[in-house]
Amino acid sequence: MTIGLARTPLAATPRYPEEFAERYRAAGYWTDETFGQFLPARAADFAERTAVVGNDATGTLRRLTYGEVDDAASRIAGGLAQLGVGKGDRVVLQLPNIVEYVEVLFAVFRLGALPVFALPAHRASEIGYFCRFSDAAAYVIAAEHGGFDYRVLARQITAETERPPAVVVAGDAEEFVPLASLRENDPAPIAENGADTVAFLQLSGGTTGTPKLIPRTHADYLYSVRESATICGVDADTRMLVALPAAHNFPMSSPGILGVLHSGGTVVLAPDPSPDTAFALIESEGITMASLVPPLAQAWLSARARSERDLSSLAVLQVGGAKFPAEAAKRVRPELGCTLQQVFGMAEGLVNYTRLDDDEDTVVTTQGRPISPDDEIRIVDDAGDPVPVGTPGHLLTRGPYTIRGYYNAPEHNSTAFTADGFYRTGDIVRLTDHGYIVVEGRAKDQINRGGEKIAAEEVENHLIAHPAVLDAAVVSMPDKYLGERTCAFVVTEGEAPKALALKTFLRERGLADYKIPDKVQFVDAFPVTGVGKISRNELRRALAATLEN
Ligand code: OOB
């Protein structure tokens, strides 16, 4: 294994123009705090309080105080430093909801290194790309989770990557570096970093052939975390259930794990998001708050009637990541006995919340309003002109915690952002008279499969790699449970492969399971317009329309 290889410096990322940075600092949004300082400061305030409850990699239930998490993070940081991980280096984190996730996260922050937040569902295609594109110094996994052996994946990654990362394993490490061995080190010092530097790389839901990485700074992200905690009523008595994958932006920071730890509360990591597991934890741990994607919220609603569990501690249920239908939203208070909070956010920045004291109609029918008075919202028509209030249009946004560009992607940035720095979200929304946002649809080539985002082009590129496939177009089809599923329209040459064979082909290419098309439809040719040539966007829309009929 190659250890201690010097890594390329962080690529230049588009920065906030100085006049905006000054404004955000003067308003008190941006402070000097960094993520390296975050946990040691909270451990000083809340040393003996319970920070994290959850299984460890061996499946043992653990309860860790703020002091214990900080001690573990400091020592693991020392161990990572021995492996050659230093300030500015990237570390691909792919851990399930286990307590080690929080320890390693803060260990990486302590070094001033940058976590790259992979999801447990990612496979060789995604992980290989993250490692190569970010030139990762380390890759941290759990030995096994959900019936999958991540060491097998790590072997493939190290064999196929020119500059392989050091692999660190929580649990039985086999030939790799055991996380347990890193704990034996002396604590590493806290790296000194400007708060306006990039703290980590988050994943974009994506619309392009290769996933984009989102560079968030300490100052911008911590502002969104602090404000989210305030808006969502998080304090030292909050006991938050984390049922979604911990690395996703929603459970991480809206207000999520970071908002709870900021406030001295307790994070409870659920090993799986099923209602049975979650309800048992709500009862036994006195959970006050949880965040879910719509399909899980629906599953909780249907399971409630059959469950004897006491859910009376649950005060707030947040639902976001995809549109939560009003019919389901209105059942939350009567059936689960808690306040619903709709969350419409994006890893690129902007997050909207319905407020806890909003009237029921607003909570049920809107996706909330922005965190900050300085979040700028522009809703425009296809020509880029502003639409009247109430008319649906493209949502563009700029503000104190929305990025000005993706990591190392100048070409994509030139179209994903306007010349004056607004991010084109790709969402179609309208504004209510009270300034709340209602999500009406999407103009981007992305499928939102129950909150999991799939870039059409990424899947198409994998399909086209099959020798019998001439062309492919991936579109969404409506689904009662997930909101949307994926359908791949495929034009083949010669004898068409079976749909199952194509899916297997994609899996063998290392594509995450949630991106494998739910349906494959073979067609002789794609529809064309009079001029004989249409854009792929129009093509996708035409094909999606045939599914809805
Ligand atoms: C969250 O973040 P991402 O980056 O996985 O996905 C962002 C996209 C949005 O642009 C929108 O298309 C969709 O997900 N979305 C929603 C939604 N929340 C997100 N569409 C309709 N209704 C909603 N409530 O998904 C995310 C990040 C932070 C907090 C919450 C969600």
Helix and strand element counts for the chain (H, E): 19, 27
Q: Please list, residue by residue across 481-507, b when 16 or more beta carbons sit within 10 angstroms of its beta carbon and e when fewer do.
A: ebbbbbbbbbbbeeeebeeeebbebbb
CB 457 within 8 A of CB 435: no
Task: Please choose, from the candidates 150, 149, 542, the residue with its C-alpha nearest in 3D space to the C-alpha of residue 139.
Answer: 150
Position in ligand 1 atom list of the atom nearest CA 367: 24
Q: Is residue 44 part of a domain?
A: yes
The DSSP code for 248 is S
Q: Is residue 35 part of a domain?
A: yes
- Ligand 1 atom 3, closest CA: 346
Residues 193 and 55 in one domain: yes
Q: Is 236 helix (H, G, I), strand (E, B) or coil?
A: coil
Residues of the chain with pLDDT under 50: 1-2
3-state secondary structure 45-69: HHCCCEEEEEECCCCCEEEEEHHHH
Q: From ligand 1's centre to the CA of 346, what distance in Å?
A: 5
Tell me how many degrees the CA angle 521-523-524 measures, rounded to the nearest 5: 165
Domain count, the chain: 2
Q: Is residue 128 part of a domain?
A: yes
| CATH for 491 | 3.30.300.30
d(CA 69, CA 67): 6
Q: Is residue 222 part of a domain?
A: yes
Last residue of a domain, one of 309, 341, 373: 341
Check residue 532 and give its pLDDT. Answer: 62
Q: How confident is the model over 413-425, as pLDDT tens digits? A: 999 999 999 999 9
CB 135 within 8 A of CB 300: no
Check residue 495 and give its pLDDT. Answer: 85
Q: How confident is the model over 271-286, as pLDDT tens digits? A: 999 999 999 999 999 9
CB 340 within 8 A of CB 297: no
Amino acid residing at 272: D
Pocket residue to mutate for ligand 1, from 324, 346, 428, most atoms within 8 A of Cβ = 346
Last residue of a domain, one of 315, 341, 367: 341
Check residue 462 and give its pLDDT. Answer: 97
d(CA 49, CA 69): 11
Q: Is residue 435 part of a domain?
A: no
User: How many CA atoms lie less than 13 Å away from 358 in the CB half-sphere?
Assistant: 24
The pair of structure tokens assigned to 50 is 């319970």
Last residue of a domain, one of 286, 311, 341: 341
Q: Which residues line ligand 1 (CB under 6 A)?
A: 205, 249-250, 254, 320-323, 342-347, 351, 367, 425, 427, 439, 442, 448, 453
Q: Which domain holds residue 335?
A: 18-341
Q: From ligand 1's centre to the CA of 233, what distance in Å?
A: 21
Residues 322 and 464 in one domain: no
- Ligand 1 atom 5, closest CA: 205
| CATH for 34 | 3.40.50.12780
Residues 65 and 196 in one domain: yes
Q: Is residue 425 part of a domain?
A: no
Residues 319 and 456 in one domain: no
Question: For the whole model, what pTM was predicted?
Answer: 0.97
**Any idea how long the chain is?**
549
Residues 469 and 333 in one domain: no
Residues 320 and 466 in one domain: no
Residues 154 and 301 in one domain: yes
Q: Is residue 28 part of a domain?
A: yes
Distance between start and end Cα atoms, the chain = 55
Q: Is residue 387 part of a domain?
A: no
Position in ligand 1 atom list of the atom nearest CA 319: 24
Check residue 540 and give its pLDDT. Answer: 79
